[in-house]
Each structure stands twice: as structure tokens, then as C-alpha cells.
């Protein structure tokens, strides 16, 4: 395909549509980009080398030649995470802006229109808006094909389900089949930075809020004696659980879900008694416009023991003798050893490594949205 496709990105965000064309090697030209959020516009310009200004879609009424319209209209009022205000035409909700796209489609008559939105758009509560959209598009001369796709089935370790609706102008339509799912090669661990600032790690009190200790001891509380001396640290990393897993609160009969190294943990509403599905096993749960997605990481003994030495200004060999015997098992720290309790609680562990929970960094979220991820993957393979 040598001829450039002229793209109009509505609700353009940081340019996922443009990014897809780049990745697929399809020649394109941006006819216009419409986005009201100034921060998203700044990001789009930085990524694409453009100089767009924010535009309000309700005021957009240009006469331009367009082949392809992509619109990711606001999903907040359809999403299960929102207030379910819906998107009825004329309701004034953010999600009702989908009808602005229809206005523009009827004006410009592009060859193709791609709409992306949350899966809950197809629920009993909101499906009438989806059906109305398809009906109006049909009246305007388009056949529509839709399917719920999950990012983890197309190369990215994020459990992100979205409904994609491709409308093709009837005079050129030869049918459309969505791509088949493919095996997931990458895991969330593959997308993580090797060095992360301490500010992304959860405090002990934050961790306690999302862990389930109904059937087990709470090691953090038990370890705090109040006299600045750390209690006995066992071979199970100061916990009655195996050091290879954490129990995360989950509103099911069992009461928890098991999280291991490389699993994601949704950190939103930590005190909720009705929240379920917090843990993403080796994949990220759906990323949102906040910093509530965490990941379980395992810190190795060598790195952590070095951290203890640095923070407590002690001799490395002496610390290692205190913490570890020849058989590789973490031993009791003598009561006379006056070390900084908070640091010990965070870092002392067995040779297997200690599980920690931290938030994903912006760069990691970037990769999980498939922006330049292949460059990252290639670089890790060459190391």
C-alpha cells in the first residue's frame, strides 16, 4: 500500500491510532487531531513532532479530505469504574460525545471509522447506545463489525478488554475479520525497569491495607516492638507465609488471591470489602489515568544486604555474618544489634528474595500501552 491514508484522530489522546499505523508500517498523513486535554496534546506533539493546539470536538466543523476516522470517545460514563451515567444523546455526559463523531462522519464521509470503548458498553445498561450508533452508521452508508479484544491476546501483558467497532463505507466494503488471538510471549516482568526510585514503593501501612491476614499472622505488626529493636526474623522472610507469595484482599469466599513475583495488584480503594479481581497474574490489570496499579517484585538478597549496610553505616562482612549462615538461611539477629528497624523490616530476607509491592512507573505504563515496546523488548534480548 503506497498511497497515504489521511487520518482524523478524534478524542486523540496521545495518539494510539497514529502509533498503530507507525508500527504496522502503513503510510499515513494526519489530516487533523482533535483533543481538548492540553497535557495529552503536549504529549501527542512530542511523540509525533507536531504542533497542534487543544480543540473542542463540539466546535469542530472543518471541511477536509479524510480516509480514516479513529475515535476513542470518553468511556467514563460507560465504565464499571464510573457512575454509570451512560451516553444517551443530548444527556450532556462525557460519553454522549460519541454522537459528535457521528456528526463529523456524516459530514466528511470517510472510507473507514474505528471506534474503541470499554467492554461495558455492551452491557444491558448501555447496549442501547451501541446499537443506536450502529444503526445510525448504517443509515449513513456504513457496515459495522465489532468484537471485544483483550490486549493480552495481542502481544502485551495487560488485561485490557475493549470493544472495537470498525465501520466500512458500503460502496467499498468487502467484509472484515478481526485478527485471531496469539500466544502471549511477554510477561509483566519483562516490561519493568531494573532500577526504580524508592518513592514508588508502598509504605508498610499501605501494604497492610491490601493484604489479607485473617488466617495468618501479621508479620509487620509483630516485628514492631517499640524499642527500636527488630524481633526475630525467620527463614520465611518474617512472615508465616512462604516467602514466594502474598495474600491480597479479594471479596470472594476465600477472602484473598495469591500474588507472586511479577503479578500486578490494583491499589485502588484499599479498604474496600467488596473489591475483587485485584491481582493480575503475570499481566497488568487495566491501566487507568491514575497511579493505582502496583506490581509485586522480588528483591534479591545481595542487593538488599548492601542496602542495609549503606543505610546503617556498618561493615559489609559483619552484616552478612549476622544475617546469613553457611547454609543460606537467615538467622536471628541478636538483641544487642542495634539496627534501624524500618530498614530491616523492608529489606532483611532469605536468600530467595523478599516480595515487595510498588507502583508502576510512567515509563512502564508507557510500554504497557504498546508505545515503542518493541525497542525495549529488543534491547532486553541483546543483554
DSSP 8-class letter at 74: -
Q: How high is the pLDDT of residue 335?
A: 35
Q: How high is the pLDDT of residue 343?
A: 31
Is 17 catalytic? The answer is: no
Distance from C-alpha of 17 to C-alpha of 7, rounded to nearest angstrom? 9
Mean pLDDT for the chain overall = 78
Of 17, 75, 330, 365, catalytic: 75
Q: How high is the pLDDT of residue 60?
A: 96
Q: How high is the pLDDT of residue 227?
A: 52
Q: Read off the pTM.
A: 0.74
Distance from C-alpha of 307 to C-alpha of 59, rounded to nearest angstrom? 56
Q: For the residues of 317-334, what is the DSSP string, one character each?
A: HHHHHHHB-TTS-B-PPP
Average pLDDT for residues 108-132, to the nearest whole number? 91
pLDDT in tens, 221-251: 544 555 554 444 433 433 434 457 888 988 8
pLDDT in tens, 50-71: 999 999 999 999 999 999 999 9
Q: How high is the pLDDT of residue 2?
A: 56
Buried b (16+ CB within 10 A) or exposed e, 278-310: bbbebbbbbbeeeebbbbbbbbebeebbeebbe
Q: For the residues of 25-36, what is the DSSP string, one character each?
A: T--EEEEEEE--
pLDDT in tens, 147-165: 999 999 999 999 999 999 9
Q: What residues does each domain of the chain span? A: 5-169, 190-381
Q: Quote the cell numbers at residue 151.
A: 490486549
Average pLDDT for residues 314-325, to the nearest whole number? 38
A 10 A CB-CB count for 135 gives 11
Which one is the CATH code of 5-169: 3.40.50.150, 3.40.50.880, 3.30.70.100, 3.40.50.300? 3.40.50.150
pLDDT in tens, 255-298: 889 999 999 999 988 888 888 889 999 999 888 877 889 999 98
Residues 6+ apart with CB under 8 A from 90: 96
Give 253's pLDDT tier (boundaries 50, 70, 90).
Answer: confident
Give 312's pLDDT tier (boundaries 50, 70, 90).
Answer: very low
Helical segments of 248-360, H only: 301-312, 316-323, 341-347
Q: How high is the pLDDT of residue 243?
A: 55
Amino acid at each position: 500500500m503506497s498511497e497515504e491514508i489521511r487520518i482524523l484522530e478524534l478524542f486523540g489522546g496521545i495518539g494510539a491510532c497514529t502509533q498503530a499505523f507507525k508500527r504496522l508500517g502503513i503510510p499515513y498523513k494526519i489530516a487533523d487531531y482533535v483533543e481538548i486535554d492540553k497535557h495529552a496534546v503536549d504529549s501527542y506533539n512530542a511523540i509525533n513532532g507536531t504542533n497542534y493546539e487543544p480543540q473542542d470536538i463540539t466546535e469542530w466543523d472543518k471541511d477536509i479530505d479524510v480516509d480514516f476516522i479513529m475515535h476513542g470517545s470518553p468511556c467514563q460514563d460507560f465504565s464499571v469504574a464510573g457512575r454509570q451515567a451512560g451516553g444517551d444523546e443530548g444527556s450532556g455526559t462525557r460519553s454522549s460525545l460519541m454522537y459528535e463523531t457521528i456528526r463529523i462522519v456524516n459530514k466528511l464521509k470517510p472510507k473507514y471509522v474505528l471506534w474503541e470503548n470499554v467492554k461495558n458498553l455492551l452491557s444491558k445498561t448501555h447496549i442501547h447506545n451501541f446499537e443506536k450508533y450502529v444503526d445510525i452508521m448504517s443509515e449513513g452508508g456504513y457496515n459495522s463489525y465489532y468484537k471485544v479484544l483483550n490486549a493480552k491476546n495481542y502481544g502485551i501483558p495487560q488485561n485490557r478488554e475493549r470493544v472495537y467497532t470498525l465501520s466500512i463505507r458500503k460502496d467499498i466494503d468487502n467484509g472484515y475479520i478481526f485478527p485471531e488471538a496469539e500466544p502471549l510471549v511477554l510477561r509483566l516482568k519483562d516490561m519493568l525497569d531494573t532500577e526504580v526510585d524508592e518513592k514508588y514503593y508502598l509504605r508498610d501501612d499501605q501494604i497492610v491495607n491490601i493484604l489479607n491476614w485473617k488466617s495468618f499472622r501479621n508479620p509487620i505488626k509483630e516485628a514492631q516492638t517499640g524499642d527500636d529493636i527488630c524481633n526475630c526474623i525467620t527463614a520465611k522472610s518474617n512472615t508465616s507465609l512462604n516467602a514466594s507469595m502474598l495474600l491480597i484482599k479479594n471479596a470472594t469466599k476465600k477472602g484473598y488471591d495469591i500474588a507472586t513475583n511479577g503479578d500486578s495488584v490494583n491499589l485502588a480503594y484499599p479498604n474496600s470489602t467488596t473489591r475483587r479481581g485485584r491481582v493480575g497474574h503475570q499481566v497488568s490489570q487495566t491501566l487507568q489515568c491514575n497511579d493505582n496499579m502496583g506490581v509485586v517484585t522480588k528483591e534479591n538478597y545481595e542487593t538488599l544486604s548492601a542496602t542495609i549496610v549503606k543505610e546503617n553505616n556498618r561493615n559489609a562482612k559483619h552484616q552478612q555474618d549476622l544475617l546469613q549462615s553457611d547454609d543460606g538461611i537467615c538467622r536471628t539477629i541478636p538483641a544487642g544489634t542495634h539496627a534501624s528497624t524500618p530498614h530491616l523490616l523492608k529489606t532483611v530476607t532469605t536468600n530467595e528474595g523478599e516480595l515487595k509491592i510498588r507502583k508502576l512507573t510512567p515509563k512502564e505504563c508507557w510500554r504497557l500501552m504498546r508505545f515503542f515496546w518493541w525497542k525495549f523488548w529488543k534491547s532486553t534480548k541483546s543483554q
